[in-house]
A and B are shown apart, each in its own frame.
Chain A
């Protein structure tokens, strides 16, 4: 029984991570799947969202911190808003010089912004505490929920061990519901937007930019809006990560890997399909977590095994590109209205 509860608790933890990746994947689906924007700097937006929210909601700098600013102890919702504002601004900065040019330039610029973000996180200790990162990031409603569960456990001393294990992790259940609510909200907002005339223009741009421009659409403005909105969604994911991990450092946001796994998720799930984006996040994160279990049985060192896992994810991506470019859930064909 205890083992079963252990598994349940693990699954809740797994679902929180998968949910955060689903938000990232939905953001990328708006940019790439719907609009055809090539963003390979996802990790940069994710990191900026996490740091922005952590700095807005976190504790003021302590005496032994290298950090001088931030830590306003504001509510979680304001942290998420700050994450969206800062990532949106960052998207404007790289969108304006690149979105009038070929897709390659945006890709390269997003690598550049991700790399620059990483350098700033590492070196500007007055803001980010450098490589030591930000600690003790508050989780929303943690103290309230923790107080209640602790009171419940001490009021029921005869509680069976498995119930005690379950109740003591009640906060994770709450966070799981929170992440789930965000995923569902983002999904429905995107669904409405993509079906709206605005979304139709984005898809038209993806299919044929010149034709969209010929029909009088301001292609640049639409692309910029899509890039900014997608980046804001990635910022939300960053905030969700910061408040669940409660500790972030530059090492939490590996530039290529953080970006890459989200791409694999979207490609596996189905580019252009929001349900596919979410499914891909769960499937790929499941494969990733499952490979963690078998690594103990392999005759190689930890760094070799982690290299093998990334190679395996890379092979999965190439296999999808070659054999199933539309993913598990292909994008639905546009319905034709009767004339």
Chain B
């Protein structure tokens, strides 16, 4: 039995890479919100769920608008789905910006814990808005069964959809890197994260920086939610809550407030969760994330890429 467990590890590494890249996208948003707005956003998981459901709702409109639903290559979905993905991300941004205007903006100086409590309220609100419109049962993205292809030489299987997921995650992470590194707004964001009052004195419009933080965080969250839908084939209103713990484990592992750390942390948590299933019950996957989190807090609370202190 032990030998069989070890033999499964290469395959589980592949699955871990897929789920880890989704976690990375989710973690980037949590990390950015933390470093710019100064609080842990517990609503982030439910923003992901909102994006996933918006895509589901927009999908029929896409084919009505004349966008082809013919599967792209060997993927299980067509151009209409890609269009729905983009539009759902934009829609999620709009919802989050409205929430910022109505709620978070009023609490700018209110202190970290007040903002966290408010975000817990938003989390529960969003989840129940989703449940109100789409019901508590799982909703299916696609009923098609997709055959996995064997990667030559390695003997592990991967589905075309999973390659798509990893590619989208890498692409978005690279785009974010270029944005933070070279765009004027990206530089302003890094300056605000370093020292908000100093950034303000140098003429950076912090309200605009905050708006961009929400836009980047929530569009990546929506993309992550939709990618979960592609990987699992279905979404439920609990999706966001289920992702919250692994995402926070990833963010803490990588170093709170560091988006690059969130990417590394996401991959590590995703891989650990999948590899753990070779040895313990699949039901305890979320507890594995929690275990990593506690170990990391004991060993090095500043995270892998975090600054000490």
Q: Which 4 A-B pairs have the closest CB atoms?
A: A112-B290, A307-B128, A314-B125, A307-B132
Is residue A38 within 8 Å, beta carbon to beta carbon, of the partner chain? Answer: yes
Is residue B114 within 8 Å, beta carbon to beta carbon, of the partner chain? Answer: yes
Is residue A7 within 8 Å, beta carbon to beta carbon, of the partner chain? Answer: no
CB pairs A–B below 8 angstroms (9 shown)? A40-B120, A255-B241, A256-B241, A307-B131, A308-B128, A311-B132, A318-B125, A321-B117, A325-B110
User: Interface digits, A73-104 against B, CB 8 Å rule (1 contact, 0 not)?
Assistant: 00000000000000000000010011011011
Is residue B286 within 8 Å, beta carbon to beta carbon, of the partner chain? Answer: yes
Residue of B nearest to A255 (CB): B241
Is residue A113 within 8 Å, beta carbon to beta carbon, of the partner chain? Answer: yes
Residue of A nearest to B285 (CB): A119
Q: What is the CA–CA distance of A221 and B63 in the complex, to the nearest angstrom?
A: 62
| A303-B135 in contact (CB<8A) | yes
Q: Which residue of the partner chain, among A123, A304, A315, contacts B284 with CB atoms under 8 Å?
A: A123
**Which residues of chain A have a CB within 8 Å of any CB of chain B?**
36, 38, 40, 94, 97-98, 100-101, 103-105, 107-109, 111-113, 115-116, 119, 122-123, 255-257, 260, 263, 267, 300-301, 303-304, 307-308, 310-311, 313-315, 317-318, 321-322, 325
B294 smallest CB distance to A (angstroms): 5
| A318-B121 in contact (CB<8A) | yes
Given contacts A321-B118, A325-B110, contact A115 B124 (CB under 8 A): no
| A256-B123 in contact (CB<8A) | yes
Q: What is the CA–CA distance of A35 and B77 in the complex, to the nearest angstrom?
A: 52
Chain B 121-140 residues near chain A, CB threshold 8 A: 121-125, 127-129, 131-132, 135-136
| A101-B286 in contact (CB<8A) | no
Q: What is the CA–CA distance of A325 and B113 in the complex, to the nearest angstrom?
A: 12
Is residue B150 within 8 Å, beta carbon to beta carbon, of the partner chain? Answer: no
Of the listed residues A108, A300, A308, the one surrounded by the most CB atoms of chain B closer than 10 A to its CB is: A108
A290 smallest CB distance to B (angstroms): 18
| B121-A314 in contact (CB<8A) | yes
Of the listed residues B42, B132, B252, B284, the one surrounded by the most CB atoms of chain A closer than 10 A to its CB is: B132
Q: Which residue of the partner chain, among A119, A257, A317, contacts B287 with CB atoms under 8 Å?
A: A119
A301 smallest CB distance to B (angstroms): 8
| A104-B256 in contact (CB<8A) | yes
Q: What is the CA–CA distance of A18 and B248 in the complex, to the nearest angstrom?
A: 33
A251 smallest CB distance to B (angstroms): 13
Q: Which residue of the partner chain, among A40, A97, A255, A311, contacts B298 with CB atoms under 8 Å?
A: A97
Is residue B202 within 8 Å, beta carbon to beta carbon, of the partner chain? Answer: no
Is residue B98 within 8 Å, beta carbon to beta carbon, of the partner chain? Answer: no
Measured between beta carbons, the chain A residues less than 8 angstroms from B118 are 317-318, 321
Is residue B106 within 8 Å, beta carbon to beta carbon, of the partner chain? Answer: yes
| B107-A105 in contact (CB<8A) | no
For this complex, into which size category does the number of interface residues on chain B fall?
A: 35 or more
Q: What is the CA–CA distance of A164 and B103 in the complex, to the nearest angstrom?
A: 53
Residue of A nearest to B34 (CB): A104
| A105-B301 in contact (CB<8A) | yes
Q: What is the CA–CA distance of A98 and B295 in the complex, to the nearest angstrom?
A: 11
| A257-B290 in contact (CB<8A) | no
Chain B 84-133 residues near chain A, CB threshold 8 A: 103, 106-107, 110, 112-114, 116-118, 120-125, 127-129, 131-132
Measured between beta carbons, the chain A residues less than 8 angstroms from B281 are 123
| B297-A307 in contact (CB<8A) | no
| A104-B116 in contact (CB<8A) | yes
Residue of B nearest to A93 (CB): B294
A18 smallest CB distance to B (angstroms): 21
| B294-A97 in contact (CB<8A) | yes
Is residue B293 within 8 Å, beta carbon to beta carbon, of the partner chain? Answer: yes
- 12 additional A-B residue pairs with CB within 8 Å, beyond A108-B252, A300-B132: A101-B297, A103-B112, A105-B252, A111-B245, A113-B290, A256-B241, A303-B135, A307-B129, A310-B125, A314-B125, A318-B103, A318-B118
A195 smallest CB distance to B (angstroms): 24
Measured between beta carbons, the chain A residues less than 8 angstroms from B110 are 321, 325
Chain B 247-306 residues near chain A, CB threshold 8 A: 248-249, 252, 256, 281, 283-284, 286-287, 289-290, 293-294, 297-298, 301
A319 smallest CB distance to B (angstroms): 10
Measured between beta carbons, the chain A residues less than 8 angstroms from B39 are 104
Measured between beta carbons, the chain B residues less than 8 angstroms from A109 are 290, 293-294, 297
| A303-B136 in contact (CB<8A) | yes
Is residue B35 within 8 Å, beta carbon to beta carbon, of the partner chain? Answer: no
Residue of B nearest to A113 (CB): B290
Measured between beta carbons, the chain B residues less than 8 angstroms from A113 are 290
| A322-B125 in contact (CB<8A) | no
Measured between beta carbons, the chain A residues less than 8 angstroms from B106 are 322
| B301-A101 in contact (CB<8A) | yes
| A108-B248 in contact (CB<8A) | yes
| B40-A107 in contact (CB<8A) | yes
Q: What is the CA–CA distance of A310 and B110 in the complex, to the nearest angstrom?
A: 24
| A256-B132 in contact (CB<8A) | no
Given contacts A109-B297, A113-B290, contact A38 B113 (CB under 8 A): yes
